[in-house]
Amino acid sequence: MPGYFEADSMAVRVMSNRAVGLSYGQRALVIGAVHPRLYVGTVQHTEHRETPYNRLMLTARLFEAVFLGTKDEADRALEFTRRKHVTVVGAMPEDAGPHYPAGTPYSASDPHLMYMTMAFTFDSVHHMQNLLVRQLSADESEGLWQDFVRWAELFGMPRSAAPASYPEFRAAFDAYLASDKPYLTDEARVVGSYLAGAKRGDYDMAPPLRPLFRVIDVLVKGSLPASVRDLYGFRWTPAHEAAFRGAVQGARALYVQPPRFVPRPLAPILRGPNHQAFKIIAKRERHQLKRGRFSMPEVSAPPGR
């Protein structure tokens, strides 16, 4: 049964690249944490303070279901999200920079916050596609943008909340990041540092997958705009840059298209949904939590730990 997006749509073509699907979510959350209303609204209502990667993996599975799943799978994901978002309403408990004083309201149904959620996600998907797979043309970027607007509409965003075209989005989004509006709360800085691999939790990924996730950390941290790295205070040395460039070149080499009739043994590995990987990450986090090991100790640990 077909889904909301055709198999040849830009959304399906890009989101089916596993290099994109495994990396965009961390990047989007690291950058998205600089928007205080989004960040505070999320953490004030999350059920996953002690299992942040379960929340990340759940979100990724929901997004993947809408982009790559059948219409029934997508509708279940959309309905689940709608139910969760009904209760996401509140106000900033304290000042978060000059633009977000205590008492500033937030709501999951706010059209602008819906748009910004989509914007951070789209920017990371588009960036990781260009970085790790191949550069999209202007027409392809426009097609991907329009698919993402449609995707956000499925989640409830009014079409009028988003720029009409990719160039308009690019100009507005880059101007936002260059302005004085991005701001990190103390907790957002800590959480983003873990997500970018600048901090380590109480445990590590199992050895067979550890090298992959080390590479993803390097790619996420290196792909951040310099202004965002500066907000976090991340060190970025020539050695970091060399490791990042090596990881990028390695990923792009895997996606080089061989001649038409040459066998493509890596195709099943490089393309497809990532729900199995998401399950492995989430299961390991739950298992380690039962043993008293936290993914983000500074955030998750109970008082006095």
Each domain of the chain, given as residue ranges in start order, spans: 10-258
Task: Give the per-residue pLDDT at 276.
Answer: 87
- 40: tokens are 């505070």
Token couple for 201? 């939790």
Residue pair 280/209 in contact by the 8 Å Cβ criterion: yes
Task: List pLDDT tens digits, range 195-248.
Answer: 999 999 999 888 888 898 899 999 999 999 999 999 999 999 999 999 999 999
Mean pLDDT of 266-284: 86
Distance CA 86, CA 93 (A): 20
Confidence of residue 263 (pLDDT cuts 50, 70, 90): low
CA distance 74 to 4: 8
Query: Percent of the chain beyond pLDDT 90?
Result: 83
Contacting residues for 114 by C-beta, under 8 A, at least 6 apart: 108, 152, 155, 156, 157, 161
Q: In the prediction, which pLDDT does 258 show?
A: 64
Does residue 58 register a pLDDT over 50?
yes
Tokens of 216: 């993803």
Q: For position 268, what pLDDT does the model report?
A: 75
pLDDT tens profile 72-93: 999 999 999 999 999 999 999 9
Judge whether residue 4 has pLDDT over 90: yes
* Better pLDDT: 280 or 301: 280
Chain segment 154-172, per-residue pLDDT in tens: 999 999 999 999 999 999 9
CA–CA distance, 99 with 107 (Å, rounded to integer): 17
Q: Is the pLDDT of residue 262 over 60?
A: no
pTM assigned to the model: 0.93
If you average pLDDT over every residue of the chain, what do you get?
Answer: 92
CA separation for the pair 80, 74 (Å, rounded)? 10
What is the token pair recorded at 187? 């907790």
Residue 301 clears pLDDT 70, i.e. is over it: no
Q: How many residues does the chain have?
A: 305
Instruction: Evaluate if residue 287 carries a pLDDT over 80.
Output: yes
Residue 304 has pLDDT above 60, yes or no: no
Task: Measure Cα distances from 151 to 3, 155, 156, 305 in Å.
Answer: 12, 7, 9, 42
Asked if residue 82 lies in contact with residue 62, where contact means CB atoms within 8 angstroms, the answer is no
